[in-house]
């Protein structure tokens, strides 16, 4: 496929597709096999990215960021995307006092270093220090609430989809504890952000630890690795059990699993609303429905044990939802006369391209794509028709003529229900002849000015899909291509 002119070598950025990687070693081999994680990696290696484009917020007692696994992932991306300290109000999450736990709790969910993989190994992390030590007290409610508020305010910017609320107060709570975090948890649930916490590690059967006991937080218990036997803290409030030696690891594995499940739901266009009012509620319901039933005699409860492979199979096997979301909206953004290397994603330190870089990070990033022609209008002709310029007659040269003949992909989209729009440069310089519209500009094939589309977006998107062609206008300095 060609890209816009005056660029001999260019790269495409596409927010589609998954990355296939050589299999790594499980960070926790026995628990990962038991929980269906290893089987999920193998079965869905070509369909899922396992966390890419999502950020997991680790709310704990800080982190030693100098550890190599938190410096850089094996795929060359920084593992830690952002940091915050809700205790001191700064961005330094270093351990203070008795803190230690947050340095390692992210490994089961997220590590991608030295050949070892966490469940969602391609995710990134937001490290948030919310208290002095993970073995906490309910009095830490205020600083934990501030940490959750930070997530609420920043989740869109940093693509936070999941929160590992790691602290435990080591007490046996049968009911939620009044405090500030409950409102934050409710808001996060409504935003579609998963929040879960470890149940605790004291073999309690009449209650679980705070904050897992809170109504707005999913509580994660444990079964012995390799054996479906519930142990450690368990109570009717426990929502899911996961193989691990401690419930903090169980919860970490769960957080990675729900990131993978979220991606599967999006890729499969699965109608999750049949399972719950919010996406987190629906994901829990799917994990419970596809999980293995485990009877626990001491507590008298039957729990569901995580099987990630079964959950993914369930989602991908379901009939696809017939809805407007099956057709994506399309924005084709063309940077006219930009040399390929002048973007931050390609390592240019002087050129600031944050939006381009963000799409490159979240999508598929090409490094060896080529323009059909080192000239603007012919290259755009090639994009519109999907043909090389030598098949386009006068449309294949600068100041040529674009006539009906080769089908334009924009008009094909229109036949399938898309509203078309354009902004900036369209086709040209040259003449457009033989199209139905009166205008001689590329609205002959767009039919609606982009400003008109965006003025009516609310009513338009309810019944149609949009394809927008956008080309910058500050081009051809000196008038020469």
| Residue 451: per-residue pLDDT | 43
User: What phi and psi values does residue 356 have, to the nearest 5 degrees?
Assistant: -55, -45
CB atoms within 10 A of CB 423: 18
CATH architecture of 20-317: 3-Layer(aba) Sandwich (3.40)
From first to last of the 481 residues of the chain, give the pLDDT tens digit.
333 333 333 333 333 333 334 568 999 999 999 999 999 999 999 899 999 999 999 999 999 999 999 999 998 899 999 999 999 999 999 989 888 899 999 999 999 999 999 999 999 999 999 999 999 999 999 999 999 999 999 999 999 999 999 999 999 999 999 999 999 999 999 999 999 999 999 999 999 999 999 999 999 999 999 999 999 999 999 999 999 999 999 999 999 999 999 999 999 999 999 999 999 999 999 999 999 999 998 888 999 999 999 999 999 997 755 544 457 778 777 777 777 778 888 878 787 888 777 787 777 777 777 788 888 888 888 888 888 888 888 887 888 888 777 788 877 777 777 777 776 677 777 777 776 554 444 444 444 444 443 333 333 333 445 656 666 655 554 333 3
CATH topology of domain 9-13+327-479: Alkaline Phosphatase, subunit A (3.40.720)
How many Å separate Cα 75 from the centre of its chain?
17
Coil, strand or helix: which one is 298?
A: coil
Q: Which residues have a Cβ under 8 Å from the Cβ of 455 and sit 6 or more positions away?
A: none
CB 365 within 8 A of CB 53: no
Q: Where are the domains positioned within the chain? A: 9-13+327-479, 20-317
DSSP conformation letters of 395-454: GGSTTEEE-SSSPPHHHHHHHTTEEEEEEE--S-SEEE-S-SSS-SSTHHHH-SBHHHHH
Angstrom distances, CA of residue 434 to CA of 319, 381, 440: 44, 15, 10
Global pTM reads 0.68
E strands of 187-245, at which residues?
A: 194-198, 218-223, 230-231, 238-243
Q: Which of 364, 360, 363, 333 is nearest to 347 (CA)?
A: 360
| Residue 401: per-residue pLDDT | 82
């Amino acid at each position: 496929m060609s890209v816009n002119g005056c660029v001999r070598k260019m790269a495409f950025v596409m927010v589609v597709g998954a990355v296939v990687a050589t299999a790594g070693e499980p960070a926790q081999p026995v628990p990962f096999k038991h929980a269906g994680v290893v089987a999920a990696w193998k079965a869905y290696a070509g369909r899922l990215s396992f966390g890419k484009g999502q950020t997991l917020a680790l709310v704990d007692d800080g982190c030693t960021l100098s550890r190599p696994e938190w410096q850089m992932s094996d795929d060359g991306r920084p593992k830690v995307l952002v940091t915050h300290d809700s205790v001191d109000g700064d961005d330094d999450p270093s351990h203070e006092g008795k803190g230690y736990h947050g340095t390692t709790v992210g490994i089961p969910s997220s590590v991608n270093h030295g050949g070892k993989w966490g469940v969602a190994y391609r995710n990134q992390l937001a490290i948030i220090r919310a208290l002095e030590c993970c073995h906490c007290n309910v009095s830490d409610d205020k600083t934990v609430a501030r940490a959750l508020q930070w997530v609420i305010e920043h989740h869109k910017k940093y693509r936070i989809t999941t929160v590992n609320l790691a602290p435990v107060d080591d007490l046996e709570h049968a009911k939620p504890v009044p405090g500030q975090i409950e409102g934050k948890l409710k808001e996060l649930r409504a935003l579609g952000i998963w929040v879960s916490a470890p149940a605790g590690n004291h073999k309690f059967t009449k209650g679980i630890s705070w904050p897992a006991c809170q109504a707005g937080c999913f509580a994660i218990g444990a079964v012995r690795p390799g054996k479906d036997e519930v142990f450690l803290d368990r109570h009717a409030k426990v929502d899911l059990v996961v193989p691990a030696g401690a419930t903090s690891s169980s919860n970490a594995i769960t957080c990675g699993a729900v990131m993978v499940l979220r991606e599967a739901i999006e890729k499969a266009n699965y109608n999750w609303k049949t399972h719950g009012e919010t996406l987190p509620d629906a994901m829990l319901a799917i994990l419970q429905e596809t999980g293995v039933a485990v009877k626990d005699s001491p507590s008298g409860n039957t729990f569901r044990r995580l099987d990630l492979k079964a959950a993914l199979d369930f989602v991908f096997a379901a009939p696809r939802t017939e809805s407007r979301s099956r057709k994506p909206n399309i924005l084709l953004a063309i940077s006219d006369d930009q040399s390929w290397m002048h973007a931050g994603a390609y390592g240019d330190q002087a050129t600031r391209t944050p939006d381009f870089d963000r799409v490159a990070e979240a999508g598929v990033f090409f490094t060896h794509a080529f323009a059909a022609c080192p000239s603007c209008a012919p290259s755009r002709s090639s994009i519109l028709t999907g043909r090389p310029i030598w098949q386009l007659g006068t449309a294949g040269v600068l100041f040529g003529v674009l006539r009906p003949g080769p089908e334009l992909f924009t008009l094909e989209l229109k036949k399938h229900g898309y509203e078309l729009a354009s902004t900036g440069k369209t086709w040209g310089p040259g003449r457009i002849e033989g199209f139905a519209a009166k205008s001689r500009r590329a609205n002959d094939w767009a039919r609606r000015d982009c400003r008109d589309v965006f003025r009516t977006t609310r009513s338009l998107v309810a019944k149609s899909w949009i394809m927008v062609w956008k080309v910058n206008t500050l081009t051809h300095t000196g008038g020469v291509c």
